[in-house]
Amino acid sequence: MSVPTELGDLIRAMARRDWGTIDRLTEVLGTTNWHGAVPVIGAAFAIAVDRHFGPEPDLNKVSAFVAQVRDQYQRGKDLPALQLEGLIRAALGEAELLDGIDAEVSFPAQIVILGTLLQDEQWTEAELEEFIREVEETAAQYM
């Protein structure tokens, strides 16, 4: 199964801070119940987290990043800090932390964190396309 084009386009739009395209694509994806989104967003999230925090993450930096994310978004205070930290730490190798994270929180939280990480990177177009290629290859393994 291939990665839906809208998901790659959504990642591009998030990185470019193209809010109009993000709104349009989230509506389109909503009509398909976000078909294929879980493995794609999960792969993008894991790759972006790994790139941002590196192989030996500082847990204080994870906590500070989560506080920044919660402050940055209007509805950010609705996102539980410990679950956000758990998602990030699970992506960094502490998979057992996923057990304590509500599935209803996990997917939207991954999108919010991913968006923040993508916007922080300020990649060139070539770097962004390389990231999306890596995401699509990784996600295709789970589709």
Domain count, the chain: 1
Give the pLDDT of residue 103: 77
pLDDT of residue 4: 61
Q: What is the pLDDT at residue 87?
A: 93
Which pLDDT score is estimated for 100? 77
Residues of the chain with pLDDT under 70: 1-4, 74-77, 143
Range(s) of the domain holding residue 58: 5-140
Phi, psi of 95 (to 5 degrees): -55, -30
User: How much is the pLDDT for 36?
Assistant: 78
pLDDT given for residue 118 in this prediction: 93
Q: Is 114 helix (H, G, I), strand (E, B) or coil?
A: helix
**Closest by Cα among 43, 65, 72 to 136:** 43
**Is the pTM here over 0.75, yes or no?**
yes
Show the 3-state SS of 28-58.
Answer: HHHHCCCCCHHHHHHHHHHHHHHHHHCCCCC
Q: Residue 49: its pLDDT value, please?
A: 95
pLDDT, residue 2, reads 57
